[in-house]
Amino acid sequence: MKWKRVIDFTLILAAALSLTACGNVQGSSNAANTEVESSEVESSEVESSEAESSEVEDSGEEKSEVSETEQTDTSDSEEVTQLPKETPKVYMTDDISSEGLMAVYEAMGWTPEGKVAVKLSTGEPPSSNYLKPELIKDLVQSVDGTIVECNTAYGGSRGETAMHMQVAKDHGFTDIAEVDIMDADGSISLPVNGGIHLEEDLVGAHFANYDSFLVLSHFKGHEMAGFGGAIKNISIGIGSKEGKCLIHTAGKSSTSMWGGVQDDFLESMAEAGKAVSDSLGNGKNIAYINVMNRISIDCDCNGRPAEPDIHDIGILASTDPVALDQACIDLVYTAEGREKLVNRIEQLNGLHTLESAEEIGLGSREYELVNIDD
């Protein structure tokens, strides 16, 4: 009977060691310590060299078993370790021309599938701050693309489909391709996965008519978001009127775009952008180009934007919208004449859009910049 108590003690001690090795040091470990202390008192009554020898022997065997278990656990852990994702590439050219645009597009190595939509801003009259048809014509026609837009939620010259189509015609877009106002027939809902504000993203109903999207953005400042680039173009830009209101109010209203909380709005842009990307083959069927010319602190939706303080920089392209916008931000932050735009971005906490977009998996803020002019 006394011998059995000694064996019980060593088994209990080994169990406690095993629990500690596995990181389980809470209630069950405390209970094991109590039993160990009790067994130590009992075993002290039957001390003998033979018993001590058995304790060492048994304990050594149990420790060996624990060690083998730890090695097995480590091995299993190594089997499920995933390799880090490849750093996305952002391609750049200083050549802001039709030829430069084609070259940077081709450098991406992205091939659209099926019917192709080319998303851009048609520009708010009387401003001339928008991507000119002569700049984008060759690229749009090379992918047999349809230029797509959605109506604005703030009114203006593009608040209704007929007026919006007139602006597209006046600005020369209907001369180079078919133009489609995607929310002319209302909205459809895209699911938002991983968001904290939006349960759905309402986009123009004609969104469903296209298999691939090439997103052409004029990179510039923005009066509400701090800056506008690829993420804004696939969130606010592809949102229907109702969708734009949901983004601006972080899901609280589909009829008014006013009164939202700033960071909630920025996070909602990221969530809406993720919904669009997810719906297009988890980002496979969408690619992005930002043109960094006439970089005003104001958006193209402003009919009278401030004149630029920053000289034209170039054209950048990527299949990762977060990497692309981050690369443009980095170029702005080192550009001569950046003070006003940087101040606007920071006053509106604009970089939080990039933080949120990366956090929910829309893309990466880390990137490799490849200058195709080198």
pLDDT 10s digits, 157-214: 999 999 999 999 999 999 999 999 999 999 999 999 989 999 999 999 999 999 999 9
H/E element, 90: strand 89-93
Strands 212-218 and 286-292, sheet pairing: parallel
Does domain 89-371 fall under CATH 3.90.1570? My reply is no
pLDDT tens-digit readout, 333-350: 999 999 999 999 999 999
106 vs 372: CA distance, rounded Å: 10
Predicted confidence (pLDDT) at residue 295 exceeds the cutoff of 60: yes
Taken as a whole, the chain contains a residue count of 374
Query: What's the rounded Cα separation, in Å, for the pair 340 and 338?
Result: 6
Q: Where exactly are the structural domains of the chain?
A: 2-80, 89-371
Which two structure tokens, joined as six digits, stand for 150? 């959605």
d(C-alpha 124, C-alpha 80), whole Å: 52
Q: Which structure tokens are listed for 181? A: 């106002």
Q: pLDDT digit string (tens) for 224-248?
A: 999 999 999 999 999 999 999 999 9
Whole-prediction pTM: 0.79
CB burial readout 268-301, b (16+ within 10 A) else e: bbbbbbbbbbbbbeebebbbbbbbbbbbbbbbbb
Residues 6+ apart with CB under 8 A from 86: none
